Amino acid sequence: MSSNIKGKIYHRPRLDDLTVFHGMVTRSQTMRTFFRMLQRVARADATVLIRGETGTGKELVARALHQLSPRAERPFAALNCATLTSELLASELFGHVRGAFTGAVRDRQGLFAQGDGGTVFLDEVAEIDLEIQARLLRVLQERTFVPLGGTQPRSVDVRVVSATHTSLRLHVERRRFREDLMYRIRVVPLFLPPLRERPEDIEALIWHFIDELNSRGLREVDGLDSQTMEAMKGYLWPGNIRELLNAVEHAFAIGEGPIITLDELPPELRGEELPESASDRSERELERVRIVEALAEAGGKKGRAAEVLGMSRSTLWRKMREHGLI
């Protein structure tokens, strides 16, 4: 057992109020309400736009919508639109015929053909360029698409679920996203709250991930010391659930024994400042500019500004304090 154990040892609580819903774990009434909404939305075939910060579990939500829908026995095809060049993204979405571009040595099915009859999930949909947006609009309006290099439209029957961490309306106003497409893909908008707005889920998620990692056999953990639990409950989790999982994996990787201690957590959870890079500074400065612009556009109305930025009102207040705007 580690000599760095401090104070009380926290073992697994009973968590009688825990809800597990299609891979998502919560004790939060907000999330239970969200789950009930998913069950209702899943029955229809309307397009859905999931808005939530990075790491909140948007793909899990999309998969739950599919699994609860009449299309559950058909394919679920997913793609992150932010990771590909424009030409490659077009090929991934619509497929291509042989000779469509250099290296296209055979016909290839795209995401819409692969997902025919089921659900297509487009993550980071705001990153799609305008030319491909026009092609996506055609799929939604006419239920047809043309592969790259092809000439004949192909029929397709899919439900489209999209996700973004930002405001599509803001992209529309900056002429980066088509307004007609925005309305097509967000018939039902869903907002997935960040982890810091449901702190009662932190301990439940810690134990959920401990169970998952214990099952892999690298280490058998059955407790956390008081400093560790306090640090994890007091942290704001800007990377949300994904960051929490990474923190638990970090502890499993570098520690040993049945108790996780503070020295096994990543530096930011121990209160240690990491060296700030130029990119970190520029991203923070850009965020401040976005907030100022949204507030100006909204005439100082914070609720409207939060909607434009794709965040909750409480998140906007926190970020305004961080940037010295209030």
Domain end position, chosen among 134, 164, 191: 191
Q: Is residue 317 part of a domain?
A: yes
Same domain flag for 88 and 138: yes
10-residue mean pLDDT profile of the chain (326 residues): values are 69 86 95 97 96 95 98 96 85 78 71 95 94 94 86 91 93 93 96 95 95 91 93 94 95 92 93 62 72 77 78 78 78
Global confidence as pTM:
0.79
Query: What pLDDT does 79 receive?
Result: 94
The structure tokens listed for 215 are 């099952």
The span from the first CA to the last CA of the chain, in angstroms, equals: 47
Domain end position, chosen among 141, 169, 191: 191
Determine the Cα–Cα distance for residues 72 and 46; give it in Å rounded to an integer: 15
Same domain flag for 51 and 132: yes
> What burial letters (b/e) apply to 223-240, b meaning 16+ CB within 10 Å?
bbbebbbbbbeebebebb
Q: Is residue 163 part of a domain?
A: yes
Same domain flag for 249 and 228: yes
Residue 164: closest CA among 323, 316, 314, 308? 308
Q: Is residue 311 part of a domain?
A: yes
Residue 171: closest CA among 186, 160, 156, 155? 186
Query: What pLDDT does 108 receive?
Result: 80
Same domain flag for 262 and 213: yes
Q: How many structural domains is the chain composed of?
A: 3
Residue 4: closest CA among 156, 225, 207? 225
Q: Quick one: DSSP state of residue 189?
A: E
Determine the Cα–Cα distance for residues 79 and 76; give it in Å rounded to an integer: 10
Determine the Cα–Cα distance for residues 283 and 157; give it in Å rounded to an integer: 40
Residue 218: closest CA among 210, 206, 226? 210
Domain end position, chosen among 152, 174, 191: 191
Q: Is residue 3 part of a domain?
A: no
Q: Which strand ranges, in their side-by-side order, compose the sheet holding 48-51?
A: 76-80, 119-123, 159-164, 48-51, 188-191
Domain that holds residue 294: 279-322
Q: Is residue 135 part of a domain?
A: yes
Determine the Cα–Cα distance for residues 292 and 170; give it in Å rounded to an integer: 13
Question: DSSP labels for 65-120?
Answer: HHHTSTTTTS-EEEEETTSS-HHHHHHHHH-B-TTSSTT--S-B--HHHHTTTSEE
Q: Is 264 within 8 Å of 251 (Cβ atoms)?
A: yes
Number of CB atoms found within 10 A of residue 37's CB: 12
Q: Is 101 within 8 Å of 147 (Cβ atoms)?
A: no
Same domain flag for 303 and 155: no
Same domain flag for 114 and 182: yes
Query: What pLDDT does 259 receive?
Result: 94
Q: Is residue 129 part of a domain?
A: yes
Residue 250: closest CA among 231, 266, 234, 239? 266
Same domain flag for 226 and 313: no
Same domain flag for 264 and 294: no
Same domain flag for 207 and 296: no
Query: What pLDDT does 4 receive?
Result: 72
Q: Quick one: DSSP state of residue 268?
A: G
Query: What pLDDT does 319 receive?
Result: 84
Same domain flag for 164 and 233: no
Q: Quick one: DSSP state of residue 199?
A: T
Q: Is residue 21 part of a domain?
A: no
Q: Is residue 151 part of a domain?
A: yes
Find the CATH number of the domain harbouring 108.
3.40.50.300
Find the CATH number of the domain harbouring 214.
1.10.8.60
Same domain flag for 179 and 316: no
Find the CATH number of the domain harbouring 285.
1.10.10
Same domain flag for 217 and 178: no
Number of CB atoms found within 10 A of residue 315's CB: 17
